[in-house]
Amino acid sequence: MKILHIIRSVNPEGGGPIEAVIQLSLTMQAQGHTIEILSLDSPDNQALINECPLKVNAAGPAKGVYGYSRNFIPWLEKHESNYDAFIINGIWQYQSFAAHKVLKEKKRPYYLFTHGMLDPWFKRQYPLKHLKKYLYWYWGEYPAIRDAAAVLFTCEEERILARQSFWPYRCNEIVVNFGTAGHIGDAEEQKQKFFEKFPSLRNGRFLLYLSRIHPKKGVDLLIEAFAKNLNQADDLQLVIAGPDQVGWQNQLQDLANRLGIANRITWTGMLKGDLKWGAYYSAEAFILPSHQENFGIVVAEALSCSLPVLISDKVNIWHEIANADAGLIAADTLNGCHELIEGWINLTSSQREALRHNALNCFRTYFEIGNAAKSLLSIITNS
């Protein structure tokens, strides 16, 4: 089978969707399928395109936040007959609108991952943006969702939440297994590379936040809660790893300065490859107090490294984490984040070891990429 994934960009700084596309695709390719990507990246950005391990058909450059490109529709009209299946990743940008237009005209079925972009958190947090989206919904985005062979959700929580944001809402909902390949490489070598890059963390203990630096991730709560817990663990440090997409890091560093904990936080920027895996294996626990998190590829990655996860109940896979006893869960508030850190500090060494054991079992049970690829292929071939 030849499958075309359609997505805004293959830039890894965009977060989990492109990483999930890559991991799913590599697994499917190993099973004999052919997978390509159609993106709105500029074909002139060869460094970015070459970094992706899949064939990228760059139909940009995209203009503005919406990502309009005059090259996208002509490319898809010319090449759609070369593919057996189409998967649209993400909504609210040009790729979903334009792909729907072409594929409906050609009578080609397609599948659509919303990747959490129908979560009602955005409705509550950004009411003016929500109103603008409502004006676009009926004629722009809703038809792409309504006409999809299936709208794919990565967990039951995401499917239920998606019904609460817009009306009308009608589609063929399917929950598909989702995940990642997990850890690859030599853990000890990766730890050494991480400590060579950040020597002040060697022989210390730290909590790891690894995700985009964005208001929806609750990084401000994390810093404030960390400051509140210092008296209970004066040797504990915090590592904040991820790209600063919206220019928020300076404000967060000012907050840390005001709280007197700037010397206890290491800002690493985005970590990739061995440095990323080295960070997972060097940390005591992974923490993500998000206000909204559709799936959380980074959570699954942490679990694959036997790393317990401290997450909010707005990370949509928190039920699976709780069922497996693979971490701690609390509300996405300052008190909730305080409870996560305090709860971890107060665990005994045997309790922490049990969580590490459960973390790896949780990954293998719920989030291993082979199961996810099998589930997606079954939907495509049987629907």
The DSSP result for 264-290, as a single string, is GEEEEE---HHHHHHHHHH-SEEEE--
Same domain, 374 and 363: no
**Rounded to an integer, what distance in angstroms lies between the CA atom of residue 165 and that of residue 162?**
6
**CB of 144 within 8 A of CB of 109?**
no
**CB of 53 within 8 A of CB of 26?**
yes
pLDDT tens per residue, range 58-103: 999 999 999 999 999 999 999 999 999 999 999 999 999 999 999 9
**Rounded to an integer, what distance in angstroms lies between the CA atom of residue 8 and that of residue 115?**
12
**Rounded to an integer, what distance in angstroms lies between the CA atom of residue 44 and that of residue 196?**
34
Same domain, 235 and 278: yes
Same domain, 175 and 194: no
pLDDT at 119: 87
pLDDT tens per residue, range 99-138: 999 999 999 999 999 998 998 878 888 888 889 898 999 9
Same domain, 125 and 221: no
> Which of 178 and 9 is assigned the larger pLDDT?
9
Same domain, 100 and 158: yes
- Nearest residue to 302 via CA among 319, 283, 317, 275: 283
0.75 cut: is pTM over it? yes
pLDDT at 372: 86
Q: Confidence class of residue 232 from pLDDT cuts 50, 70 and 90? A: confident
**CB of 266 within 8 A of CB of 201?**
yes
**CB of 126 within 8 A of CB of 98?**
no
**At 147, which CATH number?**
3.40.50.2000
> Which of 220 and 15 is assigned the larger pLDDT?
220
Same domain, 298 and 314: yes
Report residue 19 as tokens.
């990483």
Same domain, 356 and 336: yes
What is the 8-class DSSP label of residue 363?
A: I
Phi, psi of 40, deg, nearest 5: -100, 15
Helix, coil or strand: residue 349: helix
User: How many beta carbons lie within 10 A of that of residue 350, not counting itself?
Assistant: 8
Helix, coil or strand: residue 89: strand
Same domain, 363 and 374: no
**Domain with 321 in it:** 187-367
Helix, coil or strand: residue 112: strand
How far does the chain reach from its first CA to its final CA, in angstroms?
15
How many domains does the chain divide into? Answer: 2
**CB of 37 within 8 A of CB of 269?**
no
Helix, coil or strand: residue 10: coil
**Which of left, alpha, beta for 331 (phi over 0: left; psi -120 to 50: alpha)?**
beta
Token pair 């997990």 in the structure block, residue? 182
Same domain, 208 and 339: yes
pLDDT at 234: 83
Cis status, amide bond into 168, omega within 30 of 0: yes
Phi, psi of 335, deg, nearest 5: -65, -40
Same domain, 140 and 249: no
Q: Which helix (H) or strand (E) holds 381?
A: helix 369-382
pLDDT at 178: 83
pLDDT at 238: 98
- Nearest residue to 25 via CA among 6, 46, 9: 6
pLDDT tens per residue, range 170-228: 999 999 888 888 899 999 999 999 999 999 999 899 999 999 999 999 999 999 999 99
Same domain, 164 and 249: no
**Rounded to an integer, what distance in angstroms lies between the CA atom of residue 18 and that of residue 40?**
13
Same domain, 225 and 348: yes
